[in-house]
Amino acid sequence: VFGQPVKTEQCYDDIRVSRVTWDSTFCAVNPSFVAIIVEASGGGAFLVLPLHKTGRIDKSYPTVCGHTGPVLDIDWCPHNDRVIASGSEDCTVMVWQIPENGLSQPLTEPVVVLEGHSKRVGIIAWHPTARNVLLSAGCDNVVLIWNVGTAEELYRLEGLHPDLIYSVSWSRDGARFCTACKDKSVRVIDPRRGTVVAEKERAHEGARPMRAIFLADGKIFTTGFSRMSERQLALWDMENLEEPMGLQELDSSNGALLPFYDPDTNVVYVCGKGDSSIRYFEITEEPPYIHFLNTFTSKEPQRGMGWMPKRGLDVSKCEIARFYKLHERRCEPIIMTVPRK
């Protein structure tokens, strides 16, 4: 698997990427649009660009700017390429409908505003299979699951997390989700019952942020830090969380590791915030389970990273993944291909 950046003219330039200190990806992509959280004076905003609108982006290009505080996370709806949700420091979640050809004027009116968090909302995740179901997690340590169509709380999960929630990931069928928390625990939660089905305490011993994602077969992949502040990756079997199936130490950089998972090839891509590389690993059924494949390295450190869903890739060019890497002032697509003669 080889990574290559696109030509300069196929990048998105002159974008003031947000400087808010928060470990989300800052970028969300689908086959029609790329959305990027940007600097905004007095409030929060993100850009939504049609994929083909490459080159220099004018300073006056309209943004989605209805939040009164910085935007912390954005996520495209998996069932409708024109619907995007955003969570903000203003304690609200907003859902937006983007016009078919992108924005011609600033978008200030969301389709729906979801109010239920008492502190800033740092995590947004659409349900993978059910329509109009959205999860949000806030710095009030509460997870809310919303019916976006009626703006109602379906489930309010309080008391399950004693500290800040770092990440949330739905299982492939959407029956459960897993979370990584500042108390160093990884939890698997059944939202309908409102219970923790499985929990691993001290999944990573270090004090810095962890992430946990569900893989297709129900295993859990985590990134975090050791007690000596080494960055780690681990693979866990939900039925037996005593010991990790595999654990690898990477290096001693201090940026949080953002994992991206491709179920079709069973490859996990790991992008460190502030790194200038993307490492990727194949996850297999046999030991050692986590196999290092390669590292894609570039000169510039990444501020954030978008990940194109499978249906937006050009398979005729043997493309198996495409990242949208945020620099300080630009967004650069990076294409992962499997060469075939």
pLDDT tens for the chain, 341 residues long, are: 899 999 999 999 999 999 998 888 999 999 999 999 999 988 899 999 999 999 999 999 999 999 999 999 999 999 999 999 999 999 999 999 999 999 999 999 999 999 999 999 999 999 999 999 999 999 999 999 999 999 999 999 999 999 999 999 999 999 999 999 999 999 999 999 999 999 999 999 999 999 999 999 999 999 999 999 999 999 999 999 999 999 999 999 999 999 999 999 999 999 999 999 999 999 999 999 999 999 999 999 999 999 999 999 999 999 999 999 999 999 999 999 998 86
Kindly list the domain boundaries of the chain, sorted by start residue: 1-158+309-341, 173-297
pTM of structure? 0.96
236 contacts 186 by C-beta, under 8 angstroms: yes
- In the three-class reduction of DSSP (H, G, I as helix; E, B as strand; rest coil), residue 100 is classed as coil
The upper half-sphere exposure of residue 184, i.e. CA atoms within 13 Å in the direction of its Cβ, equals 11
- Please check whether residue 210 is in contact with residue 194, taking contact to mean a CB–CB distance below 8 angstroms: no
Q: Nearest 5 degrees, angle CA 288-CA 291-CA 296?
A: 160
Q: Which CATH architecture has domain 1-158+309-341?
A: 7 Propeller (2.130)
Domain 173-297 in CATH 2.130.10.10? yes
Indicate the SS3 state at residue 241. Answer: coil
What is the pLDDT at residue 340? Answer: 80
| Rounded CA separation 266/46 (Å) | 31
Nearest to 259 by CA among 337, 130, 335, 166: 166
Task: Report the Cα 339 to chain-centroid distance in Å.
Answer: 27
Say if residues 248 and 290 touch (Cβ distance below 8 Å).
yes
- pLDDT the model gives residue 21: 84
Instruction: Check if 1-158+309-341 and 173-297 are the same fold.
Output: yes
